[in-house]
A and B are shown apart, each in its own frame.
Chain A
Amino acid sequence: MLTVNRYKCCYCGACVGVCPTCALELVETWLEVSAECKECGLCTKICPVGALEVKA
Chain B
Amino acid sequence: MKCDLIVVGGGPGGSMAAKTAASAGLNVVMLEKRQEIGDPVRCAEGVSKRALCRMMLPEPEWISSEVKGARIYAPDGKSIVMSEDKSGGEVGYVLERKVFDRGLAMQAAQAGAKILVKTRALGLLRKDGAICGVSGLRIGEPLQIEAPLIIGADGVESKVGRWAGIDTTLKLQDIESCAQFLVQDASIDDEYTEFFLGNSIAPSGYAWSFPKGEKLANIGLGIQGSRSKPGEAMRLLRQFMKTRFPNGKVVEMVVGGDPCSGPIDSAITDGVMLVGDAAHQTDPLTGGGILNAMQAGIIAGEVAAKAITAGNVRRAGLQEYEDRWREDFGKVIARSFQFKEFFVKLTDKDMNQLIGSLAKEDISKMDLPGMLRVLFRLNPKLLWGLKSLII
Residues of A bordering B, CB below 8 Å: 8, 10-20, 22, 24-28, 42, 44-53
Contacts and interface: CB of A to CB of B under 8 A. Distances in A.
Question: Size class of B's contact patch?
Answer: 35 or more
Contact of B156 (A16, A22, A25): A16
Given A10-B253, A13-B257, A28-B33, A45 B156 contact: no
Q: Which of B169, B172, B179 has the most CB of A within 10 A?
A: B169
Contacts of A42: 172
A14 B256 contact: yes
Contacts, number: 96
Interface string B162-188: 100000111110010111000000000
Given A18-B170, A18-B257, A49 B231 contact: yes
B169 A17 contact: yes
Q: Which of A20, A50, A51 has the most CB of B within 10 A?
A: A50
A18 B231 contact: no
Interface in B219-245: 225, 228-234
Interface of B: 33-35, 40, 42, 118, 120, 155-159, 162, 168-172, 175, 177-179, 225, 228-234, 253-257, 259
A26 B255 contact: no
A46 B170 CA distance: 11
B156 A48 contact: no
A16 to B, nearest CB: 3
Given A10-B255, A49-B234, A50-B230, 14 more contacts: A10-B253, A11-B40, A13-B155, A13-B256, A14-B255, A18-B169, A20-B169, A26-B157, A28-B33, A28-B118, A46-B228, A47-B230, A47-B231, A48-B179
